[in-house]
A = this chain, B = another copy of it.
């Protein structure tokens, strides 16, 4: 039983001049060629920009790496699905019968995509400034809870917490090389994780600990890039 899109629009405080955009944003690809994938692509890009700009302003002393990590903690499939659920987005999704039967309206990926598609629809319907205002409003609570300190923890701790939050097995560290004379040894450590695919990074340093931290830092960058 699909609820009427107008009800959702009202709940989200949205009023579309061209409601077709909104309906398309709710339409999963299981319904056929006219679906929300293009709008999701657009929404994903505007969301990334709006949050990046906001974080830049909120944290004038944060480094580029810290800003990237803050954004990754704020904008990801899990957090978007959470926001979607707060507004019962799943009740309004237009899904093909297969997805409907298998409970697609409960899936993180489908919810997250639809929410991004709504952002894309809003951009097309009302332009960038209106879209930006709405997105910032949607994220207001999450933005308020952000903690720069958390993003300033050392890389190994950050990586471990990230893996724990996603319920993925913890990263492995392996000493793979010791070079140089006894008083000036350089250690190389390999860090491995298994997220969507297996990933490896290497760090070097004049202690094993430093090499591990560098490997963890590189792994964090890899993960952030992959998840945007």
Q: How far is the CB of A18 from chain B (nearest CB, A)?
A: 15
Does A10 sit within 8 A of B, measured CB to CB? no
Interface size grouping (class) on chain A: 20 to 34
Evaluate contact between B38 and A42: CB separation under 8 angstroms: no
> Which label, helix, strand, loop or mixed, suits the secondary structure of the A interface?
helix
Evaluate contact between B45 and A63: CB separation under 8 angstroms: no
Complex alpha-carbon distance, A27 and B53, angstroms = 20
Give a binary string over A63-84; 1 marks a CB under 8 Å from any B CB, 0 the rest.
Answer: 1100110000000000000000
Inter-chain contacts of A188 with B (CB < 8 A): none
Q: How far is the CB of A182 from chain B (nearest CB, A)?
A: 28
Does A56 sit within 8 A of B, measured CB to CB? yes
Among B67, B201, B227, which residue has its beta carbon within 8 angstroms of that of A225?
A: B227
Does A143 sit within 8 A of B, measured CB to CB? no
Does A226 sit within 8 A of B, measured CB to CB? yes
Q: How far is the CB of A159 from chain B (nearest CB, A)?
A: 15
Inter-chain contacts of A198 with B (CB < 8 A): 198, 200
Evaluate contact between A52 and B42: CB separation under 8 angstroms: yes
Complex alpha-carbon distance, A40 and B228, angstroms = 15
Q: How far is the CB of A17 from chain B (nearest CB, A)?
A: 18
Q: How far is the CB of A197 from chain B (nearest CB, A)?
A: 5
Does A94 sit within 8 A of B, measured CB to CB? no
Evaluate contact between A45 and B53: CB separation under 8 angstroms: yes
Q: List the interface of chain A (C-beta within 8 A of B).
A: 37-38, 40-42, 44-46, 48-49, 52-53, 56, 62-64, 67-68, 123, 128-129, 196-201, 222, 225-228
Instruction: Give 5 A-B contacts (CB < 8 Å), ordered by A residue.
Output: A37-B64, A41-B67, A45-B52, A48-B48, A53-B123
| 9 smallest beta-carbon distances between A and B, as pairs | A45-B52, A37-B64, A49-B49, A41-B64, A45-B49, A225-B226, A42-B56, A41-B67, A45-B48
